Amino acid sequence: MYAIVENNEVKQIITNPKSLVIGDVRYPAKIFELWSKDEKEAIGIYEIVVDQTNYKDPEYYTNTNSSYNFADGQVTESWGTATAKRLEDENAVDGDGENVLDEDGNQVINHGLKTIKKRIIKAQASGLLAPTDWYVVKATEVADYSVPSNITTFRADVRAKSNEMETQIDACTTVDELKALYEYTQQEDGTRTRPLAEFPKEVV
């Protein structure tokens, strides 16, 4: 990205090369490709340097809008201090601070990151169990049929891991702790592991 600077102030952001007018002169889009850095800067076009020091993972944080600043011959895009998203659920309220109810009169809940993450865990567990559900259904409908032991073990392991992961999520007291559960690290044997438990991958 580029910025047009006039009188030491950023006047315009250019996301894609295009024809533009600076002063009384129209310049073709090709100058972005053909002109040198110094040539572009001589007419007030500066390549933007991105400073992501304050920018955080938007899955866990709400970032401010970025701003552009020109100083020492450089245009920098930066962000303000990010705000951690809520971990816990809270009651939804309106602009007057009154509780928001649904059409049935029940309190509307704004779900926090813990609930959102646990919903994903439940959905993943359900997806892993679904292909073997028919074994369980058959066992309830056919008197002389039993679910194979490896299927029973797999399904129990999935549920146990799901419960373990939800317990790990519930134990987090900060957003950084929750985020860290999902961060993989490379091991000496080449495998990648994370603090959060992992589901069994297949029926053994």
Domain that holds residue 125: 112-193
Give the total number of structural domains in the chain. Answer: 2
- The answer to the question of residue 186 being in a domain is yes
Residue 101 lies in a domain: no
Question: Which element (helix H / strand E) includes 114?
Answer: helix 113-129
The 10s digit of each residue's pLDDT in 161-180 is: 999 999 999 999 999 999 99
The answer to whether residue 95 sits within a structural domain is no
User: What is the C-alpha separation between 148 and 129, in angstroms, rounded?
Assistant: 14
What single letter denotes the amino acid at residue 8? N
Q: Are residues 121 and 78 in the same domain?
A: no
Joined together, the tokens standing for residue 113 give 């990151």
Q: Which residues contact 152 (CB under 8 A, 6 or more apart)?
A: none
Kindly state whether residue 59 falls inside one of the protein's structural domains. yes
Co-location of 119 and 165 in the same domain: yes
135-144: pLDDT as tens digits: 999 999 999 9
In a domain, 30, yes or no: yes
What pLDDT band is residue 44 in, cutting at 50, 70 and 90? very high
Residue 139 and residue 115 in contact, taking contact as beta carbons nearer than 8 Å: no
pLDDT score for 204: 64
Q: Is residue 26 part of a domain?
A: yes
